[in-house]
Amino acid sequence: MANHPEVFTTVDPDAGQFAEQPHDAGHVEPTAFGLEAFQWVAISMTVLILIMVVKKVPSLLASSLDGRIAAIREQLDDAKKLRAEAEELRQEYASKIANAEKDAAMMVEHARTEAEAIVTKAEEDSSLMVARRQQMAEDKIAAAERAAIEELRTKTANAATSAARSLIADKYEAEGDRQLVDSTISDL
């Protein structure tokens, strides 16, 4: 290889343009025991992985993950149980609400039936009361008519008796009465 400096393209932040800068070709990477840096990184990673395998870190991680998985499964099972219980409660309350609505409808219907029965009974009672009062009024009127007729008969009889007395007193004398009584007695 020739001793030419390599050129790298970089961005000049102040100028906002690309600028070419020379690269020192004589720059050497550090090495230790004849190994370069990337080899040391590979060796360290290998040693780290071996230490992790020897200390059973993967099994610890797996057991830790298994424990977390078991805890999550347990939580999921608990959540399923809680959901089933919640569903049962929801169905129970839904049936209670349906029963309450049915009971309310039955109560309303029963109240309506009772109200209709009360209205019917009140109508019957009022018609019976009106009939009784009408009968009482008719009975009072009839009693008043009978009393008036009886009073009229009594007055008529009294008037007829008075008139007959005065007529008899005017037309008959004591002698004529005796003859009438004697003839009636002899006929008997």
* Per-residue pLDDT tens digits for 106-143: 999 999 999 999 999 998 988 899 999 999 999 999 99
DSSP string, 22-49: EE-TT----EETTEEHHHHHHHHHHHHH
* pLDDT at residue 13 in the model: 55
Any domain includes 139: no
* pLDDT at residue 187 in the model: 79
Assess whether pLDDT exceeds 80 at residue 99: yes
* Maximum alpha-carbon separation in the chain: 207
* pLDDT at residue 20 in the model: 55
* Per-residue pLDDT tens digits for 25-37: 566 777 778 888 8
* pLDDT at residue 24 in the model: 54
Any domain includes 112: no
Any domain includes 129: no
Any domain includes 178: no
Beta-ladder partners of 22? 7
Conformation bin of residue 19: beta by default, left when phi > 0, alpha when psi is -120 to 50: beta
Assess whether pLDDT exceeds 60 at residue 17: no
Residue 45's domain comprises 6-55
Any domain includes 22: yes
Task: For 143, list phi and psi in degrees, rounded to 5.
Answer: -65, -40
What is the average pLDDT across 155-160? 84
* pLDDT at residue 1 in the model: 44
Number of domains in the chain: 1
Any domain includes 36: yes
pTM more than 0.85: no
> Position of tokens 């008796």?
161
- Calpha distance 27→37 (Å, rounded): 15
